[in-house]
Amino acid sequence: MSTEIFGIEDVNVWVDGLIRVLLIVGFMTVVVMGLIYGERKILARFQQRLGPTRTGPIGLLQSVADALKLVGKEDLRPRNADPWTFELAPYLVFIPVFLGFVIVPFVLDWQIRILELGLLYFVAVSGVNIVGWIMAGWGSDNRYAMIGGMRAAAQGISYELPLVLSLLAVAMVVEVPAPVIDGAASVASDSEYVRGSLNLNEIVAAQHEVPNLVWQPLVMIVFIIAALAELNRTPFDIPVGESEVVGGPFVEYSGIRWSMFFLAEYAALLIMALVFAAVFLGGWAWPFGIWMDDAPPRWAQALAVAAKAGAFIFLVFWIRASVPRLRIDQLMSFSWKVLLPLMLVQVLVNGLVLVYDWPLIILTVVGLAGVVALAAIVDRAVRHPRPRPAVAAQLQGEAAS
Amino acid sequence: MLPTDQLFSNYVPVLIASIAGFILVFSALIGSRLLAPFSEEREKGTTYECGMLPLRRASTNVGNRFYLYAILFIIFDVEAVFIFPWALSFVGIGPLAYWTMVTFIAILGLGLAYAWKKGALQWR
């Protein structure tokens, strides 16, 4: 029941956990402020504006000023709101997101905790905040909030499945050292390595030469799409679409309570980026493993993770700047009719290649074919958009009469 | 396999993180209570509706269009829970484990195809 932190041996596990969690709280707060500033600056550049420039040097203190303003702002609760659901919703939105940090591998041997079931834990806790969203929508007693909450729930559960299956498909392929029980290798295998792990640290270490995106290109694309939807990001931001439901579930929230939703949103983006970097791009291990036998220095690992996560976050901002919002029926059918079947097939293909020990290059070829198929489906849908079902029925009625 | 006390101690940080998350939100609310102005004006408690007074409570009528998705979601999520342990062990067990899972997913796939054909996947 003891562990090691900062070179000090034999630290009580509670003390160790507390120190690590507090460090992550500080890290998260600073990075989220940076992300908000970064998003405003980057979006501004896309729109040929300058973004924040006045607060501090080149506007760097803008997020600090915003946070101070939000703390000092009156915290309103509508008279008709349901007190318990309204007040508890920010907790239920933020805490599950924050719990995701427990398994994120930052650099070698530095995360809050290595959990054997890390990926399963991640998908389990990241799904819980849907409850918070729907509570916020229901508790506010506002139609916009209600519609937004319902949309958030529908979208959240629909894209949860491709997300879970994409992480699962990757977890099948990674090759990790066989678990050791009482000094002997596990009975299930006679070699030193086995396929399949949910432990994020093992997944990262296994990619020291070739990152998983090489074996699973289609899975990576589907993960990005599903992650955008889980994060309620453009083009999947219909639950919070300002022009349709004026902010969705948090239309009635103000001041610090509203900023909790905001904090949760950016913290979720950060975690998703770090998980993406770890699962598909090899986290701290790749590309150093190609020419180094030992682990690279910590600063190099941190730089690699920051670059990979930063690339994901920049992609998210870029998509926000360039793509219009989807319609809800398009959004739902895209998940259920395209992404889910693709991921089921991918899981079965992965299984076939692994169980008969075929060369992994087959997975690359099949994955690239899947990417082309997905692109063709999206391209067709963009070129021949179908009208909304209700509108289609109306048009048919007019044509008949 | 890990010893039981290590299994427990692995999840201690999860408990600490959830308490820390709670305290983070709670302290922010307390800070705002101390710093922010507060007034008892009744008009401020009205629903945001661009100046209109809403006709009824918003929570009375809910067009719940996604219950079919919710049912399908539960089916496929439970399926994912079954696939997780399989995905980590089927290579060691061999082709039989693989083809069993193919059958399982094929049955579920038929279910999805049926829901598709019935129009359950169409948002109305």
Average pLDDT of each block of 10 consecutive residues along chain A (401 residues)? 62 85 90 91 91 85 87 81 86 91 85 85 88 86 83 87 91 80 52 81 88 91 93 83 76 84 90 93 84 82 92 93 84 89 92 89 92 92 79 73 61
User: Which residue has tokens 């909030």?
Assistant: A145
Which residues does chain B have within 8 Å of residue A246's beta carbon, measured at their own beta carbons? 48
In the block, residue with structure tokens 């076939």: A352
Q: Are residues A6 and A150 in the same domain?
A: no
Residues of B whose CB is below 8 A from A78: 45-48
Q: Determine the Cα–Cα distance for residues A30 and A64; give it in Å rounded to an integer.
A: 10
- Whether B30 and B86 map to the same domain: the answer is no
Answer yes or no: do B29 and B71 share one domain. Answer: no
Among A28, A50, A72, give the residue marking a domain's end.
A72
| Domain membership flag for residue B43 | no
* Interface membership of B109 toward A (CB under 8 Å): yes
Q: Is the domain of B31 the same as that of B76?
A: no
Check if A379 contacts B (Cβ < 8 Å).
no
If you write DSSP's letter for every residue of B83-97 in order, what string do you get?
HHHHHHHHHHH-HHH
Is residue B57 assigned to a domain? Answer: no
Residues A75 and B32 sit within 8 Å (Cβ to Cβ): yes
Shared domain for B31 and B81, answered yes or no, is no
Give bridge partners of residue A12 from the DSSP assignment.
A2
Residue A186 forms part of a structural domain? no
Amino acid identity of B33? R
Co-location of A280 and A302 in the same domain: yes
SS3 for B56-72 is: CCCCCCCCCCCHHHHHH
Q: Is A261 on the interface with B (CB under 8 A)?
A: no
Residue A119 covered by a domain: yes
- Do both A154 and A116 map to the same domain? yes
Same domain, B28 and B70: no
User: In the 8-state DSSP scheme, what is residue A98?
Assistant: H
Taking CA A146 as the corner, what is the angle to CA A140 and CA A149, rounded to the nearest 5 degrees? 100
SS3 of residue A8 by DSSP: strand
Select the residue of A75, A143, A252 nearest B32 (Cβ to Cβ). A75
For residue B44, being part of any structural domain is answered with: no
Q: What is the reported pLDDT for A113?
A: 83
Task: Look at chain A and report how many structural domains it folds into.
Answer: 2
Parent domain of B8: 1-38
CB proximity list for B35: less than 8 A, separation 6 or greater: A71, A72
Q: How many domains does chain B have?
A: 2
Please report whether residue B51 resides in a domain: no
Task: Decide: A278 and A104 in contact? Cβ < 8 Å.
Answer: yes
* CA distance linking residue A273 with residue A270, whole number of Å: 5
Residues B70, B34, single domain; the answer is no
Whether residue B112 sits in one domain with residue B69: yes
Do A15 and A149 fall into the same domain? no
A367/A252 same-domain check: yes
Contact A150 B101 (CB under 8 A): no
Q: What per-residue confidence (pLDDT) applies to A1?
A: 46
Domain that holds residue A28: 1-72
Could you tell me if B68 and B108 lie in one domain? yes
Question: Please, what is the end-to-end C-alpha distance for chain A in angstroms?
Answer: 77
Residues of chain B with pLDDT under 50: none
Specify whether the CB–CB gap between B46 and B57 falls below 8 A.
no
For residues A100 and A97, give the distance between their C-alpha atoms in angstroms, rounded to a whole number: 5
How far apart (Å, rounded) are the C-alpha atoms in residues A253 and A76?
7
Q: What is the CA radius of gyration of chain A?
A: 23
**Is A278 strand, coil or helix?**
helix
Q: Is B6 part of any domain? A: yes
At A238 the three-state DSSP class reads helix
* Single residue among A57, A72, A87 that ends a domain in this structure: A72
Judge: B48–A142 Cβ closer than 8 Å, yes or no. yes
Helix (H) or strand (E) holding A300: helix A298-322
Q: What angle do CA A260, A142, A229 make, to 5 degrees?
A: 55
B-chain residues within 8 Å CB-CB of A356? 95
Among chain A residues, CA nearest to B107: A344
Same domain, residue pair A156 and A98 = yes
Q: Are residues A20 and A47 in the same domain?
A: yes
A42 touches chain B (CB under 8 A): no
Name the burial class of residue B53, with classes exposed (0-12), middle (13-18) and buried (19+) by CB atoms within 10 angstroms of its CB: exposed
Per CB-CB distance under 8 Å, the chain B contacts of A74 are 36-39, 44
Asked whether the CA dihedral A160, A164, A170, A176 is positive or negative, the reply is: positive
Instruction: Read off the tokens for A241.
Output: 């679409």
Are A120 and A53 in a shared domain?
no
d(CA A331, CA B123): 9
Q: Is residue B49 part of a domain?
A: no
Question: Among A170, A175, A269, which Cα is nearest to A217's?
Answer: A170
Q: Which of A72, A100, A134 is the last residue of a domain?
A: A72
CB A378 within 8 A of CB A222: no
Structure tokens at A381: 């849908």
- Kindly state whether residue B54 falls inside one of the protein's structural domains: no
Same domain, A13 and A141: no
Flag if A142 and B83 touch (Cβ within 8 Å). no
Domain annotation covers residue A185: no
Q: Are residues B124 and B85 both part of a single domain?
A: yes
Q: Which 20-39 residues of chain B touch chain A by CB within 8 A?
A: 20-22, 24-26, 28-29, 31-33, 35-39
**Between the CA of residue A42 and those of A298, A300, A314, what are the distances in Å?**
29, 26, 8
- Closest listed residue to residue A93, CA positions, set A50, A128, A45: A128
Q: Please state, in angstroms and rounded to a whole number, the distance separating the CA atoms of residues A27 and B107.
A: 46
Amino acid identity of residue A149, one-letter, is: G
Contacts of A194 in chain B (CB under 8 A): 91-92
Q: Tell me how far apart the alpha carbons of residues B46 and A79 are, in angstroms, rounded to a whole number.
A: 6
Same domain for A93 and A150, yes or no, is yes
Contact with chain A for residue B55, Cβ under 8 A: no
CA–CA distance from A306 to each of A63, A273, B66 (Å)?
A: 20, 9, 38
B residues 68-107 closer than 8 Å to A (CB): 69-70, 72-73, 76-77, 80, 83-84, 87-95, 97-98, 101-102, 105
Using CB atoms within 10 Å of the CB of residue A48, give its burial: 0 to 12 exposed, 13 to 18 middle, 19+ buried.
exposed
Residues A163, A53, single domain; the answer is no
User: Distances from the Cα of A345 to the Cαs of A350, A386, B109, in angstroms?
Assistant: 9, 26, 10
The two beta strands, A8-12 and A2-5, are antiparallel
Which residues are CB-contacts of B14 (< 8 A; sequence separation ≥ 6)?
A: A99, A102, A113, A121
**Tokens for B121?**
């996947």
Residues of A with CB below 8 A from B28's CB? 71, 256, 259-260
Q: Which residue has the tokens 């975690």?
A: A271
Question: Whole-angstrom Cα distance, residue A363 to residue A376?
Answer: 20
Q: Please tell me whether residues A18 and A88 are part of one structural domain.
A: no
